[in-house]
Amino acid sequence: MLSVRSTYADLIRDFEWRIPDRFNIGVAVSDDWAARDPDRICLQHFDPKGAHLSLSYGDYARRSSAFAANLSVLGARPGDRVAILLPQGFEVAIAHAGIYKLGAIALPLALLFGVDALEYRLRDAGATAIVTNRFGLDKIEAIRERLPDLKHVIVVGGEGPFSFERLAEGSAIGFTPVETGPDDPAMMIYTSGTTGPPKGALHGHRVLLGHIPGFQFHHANLPQPGDRMWTPADWAWAGGLLNALLPSLLLGVPVVSSPGQKFDPHMAFRILSDMKVRNAFIPPTALRLMLSVPQPKSLYDFELRTVGSAGEALGKETGEASSKALGVPVNEFYGQTECNIVLSSAAHLGVAKPGSMGKPAPGHDVAIIDAEGNPVPAGEIGQVAVRRPDPVMFLGYWKNEAATEAKFIGDWMKTGDQGVMDPEGYVTFFGRDDDVITSSGYRIGPSEIEDCLAGHPAVRMAAAIGKPDALRTEIVKAYILLREEYAASQALADHIRDWVKTRLSMHEYPREIAFVDELPMTTSGKIIRRLLRDRAAMEGSLLTE
């Protein structure tokens, strides 16, 4: 827990980690609260028809213990990997807590995954059981014969012995949660695969405690009276799970879930209004879509207290426009599946700089390093790195010691992200190592170009990549998704090109522009630039200069 301090310097000076010898995520987010205040509401589910549901900590503790007990009856043991393939809802939270109480390892998976992606992760993890719904069941049945380790498929809304409801409403008599240490494995989240095959990042139970300082930092000392959390991010992603759901439950803040659907900005504002949401984690992609709603404060009655955003670079343009639309500062923060919320903004303490990801969050040692692992002077480009040991840092990659070892140089965990730290300590994202564009001797970060493009009235979303060029090594190419009221044309491409020229520089504007109907995205909302680079290498563009 963060102490209340009036300045960032005081907060950093006085912070110290106190990680207990025994800690279990499932017990901490359910049983501990149930013992103190069983009627306290922990979860609420938004229903578009108005039939909202609520779950108390008492019921949460009871159902998750019953689920753990009945998993054990089915043969699940500590260390087993149990997958969760579900949309936001009470069942996800119950399953997670039950798996942790059993001492097993939760494997969250996104329903958006296709069968190939699911098969890869389930096989690689050796999952012995999975909790899913009827939609997910169809995908699992298509690949089940190729998953020799998968013994049980538990279905929400199903029937018979493998009904989730039956297992979670059964008896927990005689069940005692497994005593776990902070380094005992708790969850495994696969990386999004932006730079290669997905890898299973294995985390210990301490990962939740490691998130709390940064979480409270950008949410202005959460919990406060009336706080209530919501995120459109899938709870299968580290962002939804560890930037919203689990930290809020640990701190006694109710979490709002919403039905799985294609993101609708009007529905997002309705959720904020109807559910009286006070705190939100909204990734940049969702914020850009929400900006398509004109003057939302005149249409919806919402009153936010704090908003955090991460997952990709927010950018100055999107950040300032979002803060104005939402009525509160949007605090950008930074982390990875392997080590999350290590940089953060905190407007209430004056830690805010447009276009920056913030400063090192309390308890985390972050630097910009060179290829040899040496911190570089302020203003120089290098790789963002986090020093170990750190409670929020992963235990390692599942069955991949070589990749784990390659992730470190000395005691620095390399993020693979290029950045710059200014003399005040603010870090600005420059681009992934392999996303940086080299053109005519300049090193160009795609994020700044994408942020500038996002400020053009015709642009809904954009991605910038480097395309091989015999003269300049690479040229900047932009893939642009237009707003509905605009049509692709050479004239529009020229106008967008000039927009970047006059706002950034003559060497950063896109010499090629391609208007597209969609951009390749990970399930966590990140643009997969490597697929666009592969595409650019095979295609030309009519909309060139």
In tens, the pLDDT along 344-390 reads 999 999 999 999 999 999 999 999 999 999 999 999 999 999 999 99
Amino acid code (one letter) for 275: M
Instruction: Please check whether residue 446 is in contact with residue 435, taking contact to mean a CB–CB distance below 8 angstroms.
Output: yes
Instruction: Please check whether residue 89 is in contact with residue 257, taking contact to mean a CB–CB distance below 8 angstroms.
Output: yes
CATH 3.30.300.30 domain locations along the chain: 434-538
Q: Which of 155-169, 187-201, 204-218, 462-476 shows the lowest per-residue confidence on average (mean pLDDT)?
A: 187-201
How much is the pLDDT for 28?
98
The dihedral formed by the CA atoms of 318, 214, 523 and 434, expressed in degrees to the nearest 10: 80
How much is the pLDDT for 42?
98
Cα–Cα nearest to 319, from 303, 305, 307: 307
DSSP annotation string for 39-99: TSEEEEE--TTS--EEEEHHHHHHHHHHHHHHHHHTT--TT-EEEEE--SSHHHHHHHHHH
Mean model confidence pLDDT for the chain: 92
The C-alpha atoms of residue 122 and residue 513 are separated, in whole angstroms, by: 39
What b-and-e string marks burial along 438-474, b requiring 16 or more CB atoms within 10 Å of the CB? ebeeeebbbbbbbbbbbbbebbbbbbbbbbeeeebeb
Tell me the percentage of the chain whose pLDDT exceeds 70.
96
**pLDDT-based confidence at residue 488 (cuts at 50, 70, 90):** very high
Instruction: Please check whether residue 386 is in contact with residue 365, taking contact to mean a CB–CB distance below 8 angstroms.
Output: yes
Mean pLDDT over residues 52-59, rounded?
Answer: 98
Which run of H or E residues covers position 186?
strand 185-190
Q: Which of the four CATH numbers 2.40.110.10, 1.10.20.60, 3.30.300.30, 3.40.50.720 does domain 434-538 have?
A: 3.30.300.30
Of 7 and 544, the structure prediction assigns the larger pLDDT to 7
Amino acid code (one letter) for 430: F
Mean pLDDT over residues 483-496, rounded?
Answer: 93
Mean pLDDT over residues 456-463, rounded?
Answer: 93
Decide if pLDDT at 395 tops 80. yes
Fold of 57-204: Rossmann fold (3.40.50)
Mean pLDDT over residues 175-185, rounded?
Answer: 97
The C-alpha atoms of residue 330 and residue 314 are separated, in whole angstroms, by: 9
Mean pLDDT over residues 421-448, rounded?
Answer: 79
CATH 3.40.50.980 domain locations along the chain: 57-204
The C-alpha atoms of residue 235 and residue 65 are separated, in whole angstroms, by: 21
- Which distant-in-sequence residues (6+ apart) come within 8 Å of 159 by Cβ? none
How much is the pLDDT for 347?
97
Decide if pLDDT at 451 tops 90. no
